[in-house]
Structure 1
Amino acid sequence: DWPTLKKLNKLPIREDDILIASYMRSGTHWTAELVDLVRHNGDTDAIKAHIHQRFHCLEISNKAWRGETNVLEDEADGSCYDEVQKMQSPRLLVTHQQTSFMPDGVLQGKCKTILVLRNPKSVIVSNTFMYNAFGTAFTEPITVD
């Protein structure tokens, strides 16, 4: 049961929202940094706060990013959805979700959407290193082969 993902389709999207959609390890954070810098007219002092304080992931709450809860517990209470709703405009949002979980407003073109694509081979290598860094979270090491 994934309450946040079920609610995500109905998340109200605002016209001034910017959504960055990408597969994991494709440059999501890098793109968010660039977009935030453009939004602030290149003023690096305006973006001194940690990146997770300047954007919100649609499927992971800020509590999970800070390590105050694990992602599965976080998902179960749906707090991520509530956090996104409470954000002030303009919102910078990111997601790794497939189109079927996107808010209806995104699919209707109500916000600016940036799709980040990276060479699939590079994504596989990057994900392999990330998953193996998790250690015992996976039953056995993952290889590129």
Structure 2
Amino acid sequence: MEKIHDVTRPPLEYVKGVPLIKYFAEAMGPLQSFQARPDDLLISTYPKSGTTWVSEILDMIYQGGDLEKCHRAPIFIRVPFLEFKAPGLPSGMDTLKDTPTPRLLKTHLPLTLLPQTLLDQKVKTIYVARNAKDVAVSYFHFYRMAKVHPDPGTWDSFLEKFMAGDVSYGSWYQHVKEWEELSHTHPILYLFYEDMKENPKREIQKILEFLGRSLPEKTVDYIVEQTSFKEMKKNSMANYSNVPTEVMDHSISNFMRKGIAGDWKNTFTVAQNERFDADYAEKMAGCGLHFRTEL
């Protein structure tokens, strides 16, 4: 296994034109041998869009609301992250080998890099989309603390990179649009982070219906309570606090930072907001997706 001190913020590497964290780019070769199963469930998001939150909700659903069972391992072991690779940690493909059926899987990959087997098997997918402004701010802080990323530079320069798609996983705009388009031909439940913040119980009921499962109302209420930001932030099996500091430095910024809608207002300047809005209108022209930037 590689020495952990090798992390050192390497530059992004391009795979089929998509910028990725160097280690994740290296994982794309082995990922080609991945075989999807019909009863797999894929969780897909652009980074910083509620991935860990919906992963925890789904694991609690799969465990019938039993919190102890959800404490069996960190979230990245319970829900293998397909393209994950980092020095000193098991890769997503390694984790998959020990994952019992039915499997929960996670990815941030755009469609051009998604293993074809997931599409061929018509694997059920839950996609969560979050408004671009909050994603940009959250991603900036994530870049700062997760040292597998290049140095983010200033907030102003990072925002420019985000708008241009020069961040890991490429363009947010393309990601949210192409997955929505795929939902017309594949079994995809397309959710919005802001809807989940507004009424988590309603969104969990949508998930249960999509999965063809049911749980007693008191169990659903318990899942809502245990997957709240406050509870998850202190849950060591969900908050990534057990990842080595060399990979994620929580003293720079917590992995689970604020978890709210509208926090972008504390970071964007008026000029940045005007520039972002003009660019957004251009990139999302003709798109039927509507995002709320605050609640």
Same fold, judged at TM 0.5 (above): yes
Read off the aligned partner of 1:138 and give its amino acid letter: D
* 8 Å contact from structure 1 (residues 20, 28) kept in 2: yes
Separation (CA, whole Å) in 1 of partners of 2:152 and 2:106: 29
Residue 97, structure 1, aligned to residue 109, structure 2: yes
Please say if residues 23 and 117 of structure 1, whose CA atoms lie closer than 8 Å, have aligned partners that are also in contact. yes
The amino acid of 1:43's aligned partner reads D
1:56 aligned partner: 80
Q: How many Å apart are 1:51 and its aligned residue?
A: 1.2
The secondary structure found in structure 1 opposite 2:83 is coil
Partner residue of 1:31? Answer: 54
Question: Would you say 1:112 and 2:124 are equivalent positions?
Answer: yes
Task: Return the index of the structure with the highest Cα Rg.
Answer: 2
Moved over 6 A (4+): none
What is the total number of aligned residue pairs between the two structures?
133
Distance 1:139-1:48 versus aligned 2 partners, 3 A rule: closer
Distance change >3 Å, CA 134–CA 94, structure 1 → 2? closer
- Structure 2 unaligned segments of length 5 or more: list them: 1-12, 14-24, 160-271, 273-295
Q: Is 2:66 the partner of 1:43? A: yes
| CA displacement 1:86-115 (0-9 Å, x = unmatched) | 532121110111111112222124322111
Task: Give 5+ residue unaligned stretches, structure 1.
Answer: none
Structural RMSD (CA): 2.7
TM-score normalized by the length of structure 2: 0.40
Shift of 1:116: 1.0
8 Å contact kept, 1:12–1:85: no
The reply to whether residue 142 of structure 1 matches residue 155 of structure 2 is yes
Higher relative contact order (CA 8 A, sep 6+): 1
Measured after TM superposition, the shift of residue 83 of structure 1 is 3.8
Percent identity of the aligned residues? 32
Q: Check whether the contact 2:37–2:121 (CA below 8 A) recurs between aligned residues.
A: no
The superposition leaves residues 114-133 of structure 1 with CA deviations (integer Å, 9 ceiling, x where unpaired) of 11111111101111222234
